[in-house]
Structure 1
């Protein structure tokens, strides 16, 4: 009778939060999907899902005695909670039912070519639990499944806590201020975190995070510490070198129990322009595939906010893979065409405003923040569309097969290359003309950082990639009229690029630019160097030397407060050196080079 009473209570109270008897015995998380009478594990293993056993009595620990809770932060102001006020650990959490963010668990996507047979996953032994090395299966829809394992099977929990403590100690007492700066400036333009989930966890304890993610948020935010008064007045600035070393070391350990937070951390660490490993992008792509971000998650049995987060993460990974061709000079690892065909391996749904839960937020920070969050979201979506075009450009003009001796471009010559370029130029033109007024470069707002600079610099880099390919096809056999047309168009693109750099205002340069910006700026200088090196007349060569000096001056005037411009200057010096020193030689001896 008691069993019947508990079953009736369960049916009448579908939101009951304590674990069922079977999950309690195995000390595993008990997750019940909306509308289900049984939890996910009881359904999977065909168990009765009962609540007969009473909860184990808990003894509330004093704040000073708690081994896991240090400081509690409120969700809104990120200020310490009043003394003695503890966050209720039993309250509903947004992490319940997630696939990639559940505490102490990590999940690996099972692809169709895996040795695992999806049909057999459903027949796994009842004795299998997340506390065993083999993990347990979780099917998210008819065709997609994951193996979920406990973190303790792959990495040291004590090491994770130690890393977090070191990271937090290195930035104390500025943690809350840095988190606030991050969500005011970086997050609107690079929305790879779920703000609500991050703040929920941060309010409880910094120990709930993966070490590289916490360190990465702090690291990126430190570049904008002047936007917080407490950080501006601080006599001690956190050592970014120490923090970056902690982050990269913790990243290697976190790879053993990878979650979505591991991918988020890696993408943020890529934004550091100083000493990030050049192999990290390829590692992150493999990591993203193991987490299943390349698969359409629209009908998965995970919370809606996680579906949106997965789409944003997938497209952020896509943009990094594609623009990495400029940064690292390596081919893209994601297919060029995103056509959602039946034979494609990139099956991510389009990123739309629906994928930004914060779009419905009407708080003061959303309306009056340092960055217009709405414009940041629009710029993120537009960058994805531009990157799809850039992917075609790189595949057409920069592949090994196209550029090698005897390859496609050498076989079709300058005329054939022009034919390949025309449709891509039209796509770029249509993309640019469709931008709304509030995303135009010249549109800025008082007391707001602009979201538009990175978008227009990326567009310029895509255009220069086409013109650089055309210049490289010129030879002694090219008709003079065609040569003149190509070089005139290239000079016009260089002039436009110079105008873009010179029009950048503090509202642009102080905003978040992303990992590719320095390389895109340096590309303008290398493009001018290419025009200089292929000039047929001394007067024309001098013109491009002057353009380079003009570019260098424009960057020097903006470099002190913008890390990416400072890095672009260094890259420019490495690439073209001081062509100004050749000015005299150019005007006297250049004609003998012909």
Structure 2
């Protein structure tokens, strides 16, 4: 059918008329495009339930100015707003559809080496104005509305169609040269954004290109994640704000992910601009602190598992429809939630968060970049949180870490970096909690070396001496209360202090197990040295036991990383193995120091579980309590005064513990393939 054919009925438009070309979705589908007299959408889009718009439509501006004139003006205005000249910054994209058959031509990616996430492709759509500095500093802001104000270099609203995806280093220079050349040719722009470092910096330029977030054909209306959030808020009413208060009082001070002042301001002004998945996960994450809150504990706590299921559905929905900065924060709150029940699901989400972080260039040091300070600190805070979760989740799950040391150069946190977005920047409480967080990030870096040794196929470069030196150097750099927290287990009333102490003991026990296995693999096995290694590991396990026994109710209700729960079954499993390998009789097994520590550790965890509903001991109790009780029952005297045990430890192979205890809950042991 040619372009002269007309629709039947008044008010219709000619099919494929040059005056009214086919709508964009129909052009992509290569389908017939017809509109009825009383509809603004074509018949095909109505049938497919997709958004219907035409090449000359301008959905980002209500200005009566002709679309062609606006298209010419947008690239220049965007560059001027950024404060960078076209020669240095490239050209901010404003691709247009030029009618006829050429309207369906896709804009090429700026740099052939850059790959869009999933099946998303770089498309020539006009980019919306960047966020303001204040908006970018607010976590999860501008979900539905665009902020006004000074331009941001890299920020993009969650509700916009585009993300800025980093271009691979191998093609950055090629794309920079081409973009600079095209910037002088009218209508020949490319959708790229060059971030130029400060003149005094030795950092190389970083190039970003625009990619479409939303899958093709998915219309933008009320999202599934928003519906899940609405249900959660109904369940929490009227305590929604009290839950948020508890999050910032207990969690965010220990793992700073959100800017409290900006978040609260946005929540009061228009919380619909906050990512629904982020807010849903914040609510679900904080439910665990309900009973320890002076305010919330007076009321009935909603069903936490139902809320968690809704929050997880919101995350997966938003991850599919609009991945960006906010979804990374939502994922971190999700996988850091307690109690831990989804091992594989958490691993999948963490992998997605790391992938998106790399796509957005969060692994690069932003300090030398010519972008606002607020965005620099925001990007670094998100990266530190991703790094901490990646390291400790790898240890807990028994899987290699996603982040490699050689692939990021973000500087470690400092007091000054953290002070920028804190509402208590000048208080003594802020300084000590900030130091605890700084120590945790540094310890996570040391743990990264341990994991590199454990999972590396070739170990020529790292030795057990290198690992021990790294942990000792970290300990020596500790000062003030942080040193007492780590070495003595004191000052546990500080937010995050108990979590830091347990993290240190977990890393120390891992090191000692690595050293023990390494000693066993030497050609000339030194039995005295091996027994010394066993003794050192038992002492560390006993320190963990005494820490748990000293916990008060307030300590249990403080911040805890969810993956800390895996430290206890690993320690108990190791202790039982030590007892079985060093004792020859059932009576000797029960009387051994290793078995007593394991038994007392389970007893302490069970006591906290029953009295205070502390969930971090659930995994250890479920996996090891029964077998410890059976071992005790096996050596108990029977009614005739004899011994009911038929266990012959002289012929007992300690390796059968791998079958008795599910290895998935013992990542320290499961990681070794000696």
TM normalised by structure 2 equals 0.65
- Counterparts of 1:43 and 1:37, CA distance in 2: 9
For 1:284, the equivalent position in structure 2 comes to: 353
Which range moves more in the overlay, 426-435 or 309-318?
426-435
Which range moves more in the overlay, 318-327 or 289-298?
318-327
For 1:102, the equivalent position in structure 2 comes to: 157
Residue 157, structure 1, aligned to residue 220, structure 2:
yes
- Counterparts of 2:243 and 2:403, CA distance in 1: 34
Of the two, which has the highest radius of gyration? 2
For 2:500, the equivalent position in structure 1 comes to: 455
For residues 371-407 of structure 1, what are the alpha-carbon distances to aligned partners after superposition, in whole Å with 9 as ceiling and x for unaligned?
x3322211111111111211112222x22636xxxxx
- Counterparts of 1:98 and 1:164, CA distance in 2: 31
For 1:552, the equivalent position in structure 2 comes to: 602
For 2:672, the equivalent position in structure 1 comes to: none
Structure 2, unaligned runs of 5 or more? 1-61, 95-144, 197-203, 636-644, 654-674
For 1:593, the equivalent position in structure 2 comes to: 652
**Cα distance, 1:499 vs structure 2:** 2.0
- Give the counterpart of 2:319 among 255, 265, 278: 255
The equivalences for 1:535-574 within 5 A come to: 535-538=582-585, 541-542=589-590, 543=592, 544-560=594-610, 565-574=614-623
For 1:245, the equivalent position in structure 2 comes to: 309
The equivalences for 1:258-407 within 5 A come to: 258-272=323-337, 273-276=339-342, 277=345, 278-335=347-404, 338=405, 344-358=406-420, 361-362=423-424, 367=427, 372-396=429-453, 398-399=454-455, 401=457
Secondary structure class of the residue paired with 2:562: coil
Distance 1:444 1:464, change over 3 A: closer
- Give the counterpart of 2:525 among 469, 478, 489: 478
For 1:58, the equivalent position in structure 2 comes to: none
- Give the counterpart of 2:236 among 171, 176, 180: 171
For 2:478, the equivalent position in structure 1 comes to: 435
Secondary structure class of the residue paired with 2:582: coil
Contact preservation (8 Å) 1:109, 1:292: yes
Secondary structure class of the residue paired with 2:209: strand
- Counterparts of 1:577 and 1:349, CA distance in 2: 46
- Counterparts of 2:254 and 2:272, CA distance in 1: 27
- Counterparts of 2:64 and 2:583, CA distance in 1: 81
- Counterparts of 2:234 and 2:535, CA distance in 1: 57
Contact preservation (8 Å) 2:464, 2:514: no
For 2:205, the equivalent position in structure 1 comes to: 143
Which range moves more in the overlay, 534-543 or 281-290?
534-543
Distance 1:379 1:321, change over 3 A: same
For 1:62, the equivalent position in structure 2 comes to: none
For residues 282-302 of structure 1, what are the alpha-carbon distances to aligned partners after superposition, in whole Å with 9 as ceiling and x for unaligned?
222111111111111113343
Distance 1:534 1:309, change over 3 A: farther
Contact preservation (8 Å) 1:359, 1:374: no
- Give the counterpart of 2:265 among 191, 195, 200: 200
- Give the counterpart of 1:509 among 556, 564, 568: 556
Secondary structure class of the residue paired with 1:147: strand
For 1:425, the equivalent position in structure 2 comes to: 468
Distance 1:467 1:540, change over 3 A: farther
For residues 203-240 of structure 1, what are the alpha-carbon distances to aligned partners after superposition, in whole Å with 9 as ceiling and x for unaligned?
222211222111111111222224555533334x3333
For 1:119, the equivalent position in structure 2 comes to: 177
Contact preservation (8 Å) 1:164, 1:206: no
For 1:523, the equivalent position in structure 2 comes to: 570
**Cα distance, 1:28 vs structure 2:** 8.2
Distance 1:285 1:576, change over 3 A: farther
- Counterparts of 1:330 and 1:464, CA distance in 2: 18
Contact preservation (8 Å) 1:467, 1:490: yes
- Give the counterpart of 2:627 among 578, 582, 590: 578
Which range moves more in the overlay, 573-582 or 193-202?
573-582
Distance 1:557 1:267, change over 3 A: same
TM normalised by structure 1 equals 0.73
- Counterparts of 2:89 and 2:439, CA distance in 1: 44
- Counterparts of 1:109 and 1:43, CA distance in 2: 14
- Counterparts of 1:127 and 1:387, CA distance in 2: 49
The equivalences for 1:9-48 within 5 A come to: 25=70, 36=83, 44=91
**Cα distance, 1:435 vs structure 2:** 2.3
**Cα distance, 1:35 vs structure 2:** 9.2
Secondary structure class of the residue paired with 2:609: coil
Residue 487, structure 1, aligned to residue 573, structure 2:
no
Distance 1:494 1:201, change over 3 A: same
Which range moves more in the overlay, 169-178 or 225-234?
225-234
Distance 1:42 1:393, change over 3 A: closer
Q: CA RMSD in A?
A: 4.1
Structure 1, unaligned runs of 5 or more? 1-17, 48-88, 130-134, 339-343, 403-407, 410-416
Residue 469, structure 1, aligned to residue 552, structure 2:
no
Contact preservation (8 Å) 1:545, 1:583: no
**Cα distance, 1:262 vs structure 2:** 0.8
**Cα distance, 1:360 vs structure 2:** 6.6
Contact preservation (8 Å) 2:602, 2:620: no
Contact preservation (8 Å) 1:108, 1:290: yes
